[in-house]
Structure formats: C-alpha cells, structure tokens
Structure 1
Amino acid sequence: MEESRGVVKHVLLVKFKDDISPEQIEELIRGFANLVNHIEPMKAFHWGKDVSVQNLHQGFTHIFESSFESTEGIAEYISHPKHVVFAKLHFAYLEKVLVIDYKLSTVRC
C-alpha cells in the first residue's frame, strides 16, 4: 500500500445476511465502534444505514467509515489483534462486503 500522509478514510459497505437479527447488527456496530478505543491509528468511526432514494445500493445496507492519519495507519489497524478477532467473529454475519480506502483531497479553484 502506498504510504500517504493526511486524512485517509477506510470505508466498508456491507449487506448483512437475511437471518441476522437487528440485535446482532447492533452488537456488531457497538463492537466496531469500540475498536477506536483500542487501536491507536484509528482516529474516528462513523456509521450509517442506506437512506438513498436512488435505489443504487446493490444490496449494501450499511456503511462504516474509519479515519486514519496515513495509509500506514490503516495497515496497522488491519493487522491489529483486536481488529483480527473482531473481523473473524463478525465476518460470518455478512453476505456482501466492499472496502475502499481513500485519501481526502481538495479541489483548488
């Protein structure tokens, strides 16, 4: 992964399996949000549920966004033992996953 300083976002789009309860989804969200308290490179965590009127979500229902100060921070997060355990436990809840990492850019006019 190319090293990049500046705010870097780690975005995860998911579709939960049909048999996952709302309570299980809430448990997953709480666990995901708690990672920011244990993994130093993870600076912020936000999440939301699709509310688009365009119906272009392709089945993805939730978005999870984490902020880092560099792509190196994302690499450290991905290999962190707390993240590894969390991912192993909760990946079984997911039917579809899409991950995108991007560096914030500004258009100068």
Structure 2
Amino acid sequence: MGRYRHILLLKFKDGVNVDESVKTLEKQAKENESIVSVEVECGQDITTPEVLRHGFTHIFMMTFNTTKDFSAYRSHPKNIKHSPTFSVAIADALTFNYEAVTVI
C-alpha cells in the first residue's frame, strides 16, 4: 500500500494578503506535525500560463503514511480550529486525495 496524499490548490480572494495567508497555513502544518506523521510541501506557481491554471496560484501537498493518519489529521481540533480563519481568504480551492503509487 502506498502513502496517502492530500493536495490543495488555492485561489486567493482579491485584496487578501497572500503571504500572511500562506504563513497561516504553514503554521497550521507545523502544529499538526504533533498530531500524526505528515510531510508538508508548499509552493507558488511560477511558470504555468494563467489560461491553464485558472487563477490557482498556490499548492499545499501533505503526505501521510496511511489513510488513518489523514483521517486523524482532518478531525483533530487543531485542524478544525484553523479552518474558519483561513477559509475567509480563499476564493476557490481544488482538493485531491489519493493513495500514491510509485510507477518508476
């Protein structure tokens, strides 16, 4: 069985301090390290033409050892506490969850 990945593509609302919002997400991720074993990567798109990315500018990818770890993360009070604060900055989000399978 492969590792479990949670990918979040973000489009921020106009006028939002994006750097502050990203720092909030990074802080949340660091706090969640104590909940379960998780690796977090984040970044801003720098090369994709706007027509292809549809306004999505940032990605957060979390890798968990198991789906059980992901469930524990999602339902943990620390995670739930941050959601409303962060959600007000988001114009749109695309989430994708999958079990990673190495092909090469």
How many residues in Structure 1 have an aligned counterpart in Structure 2?
103
Quickly say closer, same or farther: Cα 1:53–1:27, change in 2 above 3 A.
closer
1:48 aligns with 2:37: no
Q: Deviations over 1:7-48 (max 9, x none)?
A: 11110111111111144224323323313433224x211100
- Paired position in structure 2 for 1:12: 8
Q: Relative to 1, partners in 2 of residues 1:89 and 1:50: Cα closer, same or farther, differing over 3 Å?
A: same
TM (norm. structure 1) is 0.81
SS in 1 for 2:2: strand
Runs (4+) off by over 6 Å: none
The unaligned stretches of length 5 or more in structure 2 are none
Partner of 2:66: 70
Structure 1 residue 96 corresponds to structure 2 residue 95 = no
**Worse-matched range after superposition: 72-81 or 50-59:** 50-59
Distance 1:71 1:12 in 2: 16
Which residue among 26, 29, 33 is the counterpart of 2:29?
33
Give the TM-score of the pair, scaled to structure 2.
Answer: 0.85
More deviation, 58-67/14-23:
14-23
Structure 1 residues 87 and 54, CA gap change in structure 2 (3 angstroms): same
* RMSD over aligned Cα atoms: 1.8
**Structure 1 unpaired stretches of 5+:** none
Q: 1:58 aligns with which of 28, 33, 54?
A: 54
Q: How much identity, in percent, do the aligned residues show?
A: 29
